[in-house]
Amino acid sequence: MKIITEHMTVETKGDPDLIDLTERIREVLKRSGLRQGSLTVFVTGSTAAVTTFEYEPGLIKDVRALYEKLVPRKTGYAHDASWGDANGFSHLRAMIQGPSLVIPFENGKLTLGTWQQVVLAEFDNRPRRRDIVVQMAGTGNEKQVGG
Ligand code: ZN
């Protein structure tokens, strides 16, 4: 089994920015030459998240509305008093969504559904440059040796 790690940089506009990463992740997998295994997509940082949903304008609106309902964008969270950066809501949204997604792949292809995109959710209250880690663990076409 091989483990291959790649990084990609994504510029975001700040909350609520939802960016489709699916094609870039497909390219990374293709480059790796791996055929079977699983891949983790992870965003470094505590005010962004990685998730999956159907990436279309209606649902993008719905997802934004859901985050606003769950964790309203306002100041007054205790974190805002600690640092004065007014992004308590960003940390809370990122925490409930989570920073990573695991996707199995077979025959060199992600096992995603047609309407299942991989989405970076930027929650910070300002534009950020995000480091996305894609780590693949799997096998290529080489013969398996040993037991
Ligand atoms: Zn903060």
Residue 118 maps to a domain = yes
pLDDT, tens digit (0-9, with 9 covering 90-100), for 34-61:
999 999 999 999 999 999 999 999 999 9
Q: CATH number of the domain at 87, please.
A: 2.60.120.460
pLDDT, tens digit (0-9, with 9 covering 90-100), for 89-132:
999 999 999 999 999 999 999 999 999 999 999 999 999 999 99
Measure 68 CA to ligand 1 centroid, in angstroms. 18
Q: Identify whether the C-beta of residue 15 lies closer than 8 Å to the C-beta of residue 92.
A: no
Angstrom distance (rounded) from CA 87 to CA 3? 35
Environment of ion ligand 1 (residues, CB < 5 A): 85, 87
Structural domain range at position 39 = 2-139
Helix (H, G, I), strand (E, B) or coil at 19: strand
Measure 89 CA to ligand 1 centroid, in angstroms. 9
Residue 123 maps to a domain = yes
* Host H or E run for residue 137: strand 129-139
Residue 53 maps to a domain = yes
What is the number of domains present in the chain?
1
Angstrom distance (rounded) from CA 28 to CA 32? 6
